[in-house]
Structure 1
Amino acid sequence: MNETSRLLKNSFSKKNIIIALIIFTAIFLVSTYVFIHFDTFDKFYEYTREHEDWELDELILGIFAFFISLSFSLFYLSYTFGKKVVEFTKNEIEQQKRVQASQKLQSMGSMLGGLAHSLNNHLVPIITLSKILKDDIPKNNPSHDDISKVLEASYGLRDILKQVLNFTRADNSNLTNSCQIDETLENALNLAKTTVPSSIKFESEIEKSGLIIPISRINIEIIIFNLITNAIHALENKKAGFIKTTLKVLEDKSKIVIKVRDNGCGISKEKSDLIFDPFFTTKEQGKGTGLGLSETFGIIKSAKGTIKVDSKENEFTEFTLEIPTIREY
């Protein structure tokens, strides 16, 4: 915030406004008492009658009317100026917040390359050992499916790290920027389901269409994990919680609609206007970064789609994603 906006904000602080009102009230009461106690207007009238040839009363009344008009004009100008100052100050504060958020993102971006490279190195033995275990375990053994899910999640993480590395190198040419939505969503939900506590009922309804959307498979997984994770947090204190994900296709097949609904704590109207801002979070300190929904919003927007939230406190939250299709599979 620059010095001008800071000065204007201080000038129109609550303290200064209260002081101004006290001064105005004091002057008004004192002047009113003087006028009434000393019969000022009666004496003024008698004086003007004695000097009627001067037409002093008309002159004084004209001046009086001028000052009344001037007072109302100044009041209007002060009100308008004050309103503009408040708007200006608010915009300055919001701009400052955006700059700070951008600086945070830039700082985090400078660390992503090294972090992704380090994680990728640690991921290699996980994938290698998981493959060995999978080969050693009979297919009819339940652990065989569990290892398969670990491998699938590891492959997904490897692709995410590849995407991060390509992003930090400003080279995304090798990334697939589309996927078949129903199959991809189903796989993403199967992975996400492993993170859902048994106390939460997990449902999904996927309309088979074979349609392609302009979002990569990895980004769909990121979106689903972000939304499912938020839903899980919202259901922490719920005894009979549920999460339901649906995929519908518009009649003309121009768009697909994904909805993720839970019956958790909900989001207030004030917070629902901020949840897509970077670093904004309703979670306790240490439980959220405030980047999940911002990341989701960015992915959807880059695909020329939309994301909306409908929520009622202590009842439900529903995210609705509309994403355009590009062709049939």
Structure 2
Amino acid sequence: MYVIAALGVLDLVVFKNSVLNWVAHFFLLGAIGIAYVLPELRFFRNTVIAVLPFAIVSFLTDVVGLIHTPFFQKIEDYFEIIQICTVAWMIAMLIGVNKQRKALEKERQKREIEEEQNRFIAARRAELETMVAARTSELLTQKEELEHALMELRETQVQLIQKEKMASLGELTAGIAHEIQNPLNFVNNFSEVNKELLDEMEHEVDKGNMAEVKEIMKDIKENEIKISQHGKRADAIVKGMLQHSRLSSGKKEPTDINALADEYLRLSYHGLRAKDKSFNATFKTDFDESIKEIEVIPQDIGRVLLNLINNAFYSVNEKKKAWSQTPNTDRYDPIVYVATKRLDGKVQICVKDNGMGIPQKVLDKIYQPFFTTKPAGQGTGLGLSLSYEILKAHGGELRVETREGEFAQFIMELPFASVDKV
């Protein structure tokens, strides 16, 4: 482009009216032709268009001046005007071409920057995809590890639950023995009485005193009924113990909730008495007789009752020990109170004690697994957590009312579905 423009200037100014002027013409026209024809120089075609009018007019001016000088002298002024116009055209076009070139250069640079950015983005994307693939693989590995850990945790949870049940069963052993001993004593006593009555009846038969024989037979029959009742009582206690030790079937069945609460209250009390001979407490009951049987999983609800009652007896016993070590003029009577009540659409079971109460600072933590306020070795911290989950699974709830140093009352609520409605 600059060569063509330089040739135009030389043609116009330096070589005017000389042999070199014609050389400049041919070089200029040749350069224009080459720039227009060659594909690799197509970028300069706008420059060619800018210079071409000047080159043609300049060439024609010299040709006309050479062929017919008088005629040329007449129209020379017109040719000069045309040349000036072509020069103006050339300058305007060259300025436009230069602007266009700069714009194209700017566009090219912009495109190169975009291509560089695209290459960077592609490289970054490939790097990120590699990182994502590695992270995905790592997450999958962690997922497998977590699933394995979760499986182990569930297995451990089952083992801990069973351990908790067996631990509570161990606490019940003495109470169960005491509860079984009472009906067995009745069975043994009435058996001895019946043995004596049979000897007496045999003697009366020999004497022919049938009226007395009938009276003795009536007494024997009544004793047999009592033996059967107490035998069934012992059988029920053993079955309850076996139910407590077995895994829950998850099946609800008709259950006398009052009898269940009373049974576990007595078993807990006698179990603690057997472990600690100095332990003593008063327990009271207030059962709503209108409840009768409801549909629950008895071994699960029994486990909840046992845990709450054991905690109540533990609390009053700890308060009694603390009370005995401080100078108090007032007398402290440890009392555990168990009551049932039928409400609208639900049954409420309350276990209340006048023991240590629960500090406010730990009140929000008592249902957390493994949280316990008992000394090491005296509690797993699973009792209240399992109790809460059991009641939740029954569609019920467990809440507590307490005042530190005065009392604690755990309130169980179960949906009321009596057997006659099921």
TM-score, normalised to structure 2's length? 0.42
1:219 maps to what in 2?
300
- State the distance in 1 between where 2:163 and 2:377 align: 23
| Residues 201/301 of structure 1: CA separation in 2 closer, same or farther (3 Å cut) | same
Give the 3-state SS of the residue equivalent to 1:248 in structure 2: strand
Give the 3-state SS of the residue equivalent to 1:195 in structure 2: helix
- State the distance in 2 between where 1:265 and 1:100 align: 39
Match of 2:338 among 242, 245, 258: 245
| Residues 237/277 of structure 1: CA separation in 2 closer, same or farther (3 Å cut) | same
- State the distance in 2 between where 1:241 and 1:115 align: 26
Q: What percentage of residue pairs aligned between the two structures are identical?
A: 26
Match of 1:156 among 234, 240, 244: 240
2:158 maps to what in 1?
109
Q: Is the 8 A contact 2:398 2:413 kept in 1?
A: yes
| Residues 139/308 of structure 1: CA separation in 2 closer, same or farther (3 Å cut) | farther
Q: Is the 8 A contact 2:350 2:411 kept in 1?
A: yes
Q: Is the 8 A contact 1:243 1:261 kept in 2?
A: yes
1:278 maps to what in 2?
369
Deviation at 1:314, TM superposition (A): 0.9
Give the 3-state SS of the residue equivalent to 1:261 in structure 2: strand
| Residues 207/136 of structure 1: CA separation in 2 closer, same or farther (3 Å cut) | closer
| Structure 1: runs of 5 or more not aligned | 1-98
Q: Is the 8 A contact 1:188 1:220 kept in 2?
A: no
Q: Is the 8 A contact 1:212 1:328 kept in 2?
A: yes
Q: Is the 8 A contact 2:355 2:408 kept in 1?
A: yes
Give the 3-state SS of the residue equivalent to 2:296 in structure 1: coil
AA of the residue aligned to 2:319: N
CA distances 1:20-57 after superposition (whole Å, capped 9, x unpaired): xxxxxxxxxxxxxxxxxxxxxxxxxxxxxxxxxxxxxx
2:194 corresponds to 1:138: no
Match of 1:194 among 270, 277, 302: 270
Q: CA RMSD in A?
A: 4.1
Give the 3-state SS of the residue equivalent to 2:398 in structure 1: strand
- State the distance in 1 between where 2:164 and 2:401 align: 36
Give the 3-state SS of the residue equivalent to 1:273 in structure 2: helix
2:115 maps to what in 1?
none
| Residues 202/148 of structure 1: CA separation in 2 closer, same or farther (3 Å cut) | farther
| Residues 111/256 of structure 1: CA separation in 2 closer, same or farther (3 Å cut) | closer
AA of the residue aligned to 1:262: D
Structure having the higher helix fraction is 2
Give the 3-state SS of the residue equivalent to 1:258 in structure 2: strand
Deviation at 1:140, TM superposition (A): 8.6
1:61 maps to what in 2?
none
2:374 corresponds to 1:325: no
TM-score, normalised to structure 1's length? 0.53
2:232 corresponds to 1:181: no
2:390 maps to what in 1?
299
The size of the alignment, in residue pairs, is 211
Deviation at 1:260, TM superposition (A): 0.8
Q: Is the 8 A contact 1:196 1:202 kept in 2?
A: no
CA distances 1:45-86 after superposition (whole Å, capped 9, x unpaired): xxxxxxxxxxxxxxxxxxxxxxxxxxxxxxxxxxxxxxxxxx
Deviation at 1:328, TM superposition (A): 4.8
Deviation at 1:161, TM superposition (A): 2.9
- State the distance in 1 between where 2:245 and 2:336 align: 28
CA distances 1:287-327 after superposition (whole Å, capped 9, x unpaired): 00111111111111111111101111111101011111113
Structure ID, larger Rg: 2
Deviation at 1:147, TM superposition (A): 8.9
Deviation at 1:257, TM superposition (A): 0.9
Which runs of structure 2 are paired with 1:56-67 in the superposition (5 Å)? none
